[in-house]
């Protein structure tokens, strides 16, 4: 059950980073371009982390795929 909370937490962090990048995209200050790139880099890093975490969890047997009905 704790693994599900970890996945949801990482998804929330990804969405937060994407929102931060959107804020810096719409802002007009001079250094916001660099901040936007950093926020998007965090999003990519968190997405890769989540993907690797899901792969490890699958191969360790922590999660099981289900069949559609």
Which band of pLDDT confidence, cut at 50, 70 and 90, is reported for residue 32? Answer: confident
Model pTM? Answer: 0.84
Question: Domain ranges in the chain?
Answer: 11-60
Confidence at residue 65, expressed as pLDDT on a 0 to 100 scale: 86
Which band of pLDDT confidence, cut at 50, 70 and 90, is reported for residue 19? Answer: very high
Rounded to an integer, the average pLDDT of 35-41 is 93
What is the rounded CA–CA span in Å between residue 34 and residue 23?
12
Rounded to an integer, the average pLDDT of 8-24 is 95
The backbone region for 27, taken as left when phi is positive above 0, alpha when psi lies in -120 to 50, beta otherwise, is beta
What is the rounded CA–CA span in Å between residue 60 and residue 37?
34
Helix (H) or strand (E) holding 43: helix 32-60
């Amino acid at each position: 059950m704790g693994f599900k909370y970890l996945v949801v937490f990482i998804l929330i962090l990804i969405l937060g980073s994407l929102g931060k990048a959107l804020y810096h995209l719409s802002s007009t200050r001079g250094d916001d371009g660099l901040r936007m790139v950093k926020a998007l880099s965090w999003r990519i890093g968190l997405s890769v982390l989540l993907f690797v975490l899901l792969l490890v969890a699958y191969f360790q047997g922590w999660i099981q795929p289900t069949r559609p009905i």
